[in-house]
Amino acid sequence: MQPLIDNARTFGQRPEEFAKLAAGQSPQVLFITCSDSRVVPALITGARPGELFELRTAGNIVPPYLSDRPTGEAATIEYAVEVLGVQDVVVCGHSHCGAVGALVRGDDLDGVPAVRDWLAHAADEPGTSDPDDPTVMGAVQNHVLAQLLRLRSYPCVEKRLADGRLRVRGWYYEVHTGAVREHRADTDRFEAL
Ligand SMILES: [Zn+2]
């Protein structure tokens, strides 16, 4: 922890870059990804402060939209779309994802009941994956597509997709290489950006 504190102590010594942020934010992208520490959206995209609005959840899950039971995830998505007017939403899954791996393997999660219940409530079965493949690539990519479907069902997203003001993208990030692939509708495959 100490190196992180040391960095934070000196981080604010760049007033000229940050002063304009007091005027507000107008990010063009909502970036939804896993809480995994190996996935660093600003590093992957090169985004500077103010450029990416982020939602991070265990397993980059977009939970079902429930109008009678608001969630923090739905609030973040709705704010990004309706108030900030982002033009793109990226759902980015990643290789070696612990959440997707647990679903694929059917891990016993009774020791972490909140994780167990979150995955049970929010995630669909991501499909099978090669048991010898530690990246769980196939399952993660299926899982990303399932989250995109969920996202499209959010009323604010559905409306803006229909009138062409919003695009949604599915990404797959390899934590061990840094490579990013995007789902292409024409080939129905994840291909290099
Ligand atoms: Zn993950």
Per-residue pLDDT of the chain (193 residues; tens, 9 = 90+): 999 999 888 888 777 888 889 999 999 999 999 999 999 999 999 999 999 999 999 999 999 998 898 899 999 999 999 999 999 999 999 999 999 999 988 899 999 999 999 998 777 777 767 767 889 999 999 999 999 999 999 999 999 999 999 999 999 999 999 999 999 999 999 999 9
Evaluated on CA atoms 53, 146, 162, 191, the torsion sign reads positive
Cα 108 to middle of ligand 1, angstroms:
17
Alpha carbon distances (Å) from 100 to 34, 153, 167, 188:
10, 22, 25, 20
CB 87 within 8 A of CB 165: yes
Tokens for 4, please give them.
Answer: 């992180």
- What domains appear along the chain, each with residue ranges and CATH number? 27-192 (3.40.1050.10)
Distance 18 CA to ligand 1 centre (A): 31
Amino acid at 177: T
Q: How far is the CA of 120 from the centre of ligand 1 (A)?
A: 16
Instruction: Quote the pLDDT of residue 126.
Output: 75
Residue 131, pLDDT score: 67
pTM of the model: 0.94
Distance 17 CA to ligand 1 centre (A): 32
- The encoded tokens of residue 13 equal 């010594």
Burial of residue 59, with CB atoms counted within 10 A of its CB: 0-12 exposed, 13-18 middle, 19 or more buried = buried
Ligand 1 center–CA 135 separation, angstroms: 11
- Residue 140 CA to ligand 1 center (angstroms) comes to 9
CA 94 to mean position of chain CA atoms: 9
Site of tokens 């007033």:
15
In 35-175, beta strands by DSSP E: 52-57, 88-94, 167-173
CA of 4 to the centre of ligand 1 (A): 22
Are residues 90 and 169 in contact, defined by beta-carbon separation less than 8 angstroms?
Answer: yes
Between the CA of 99 and the centroid of ligand 1 the distance, in Å, is: 6
Distance 67 CA to ligand 1 centre (A): 27
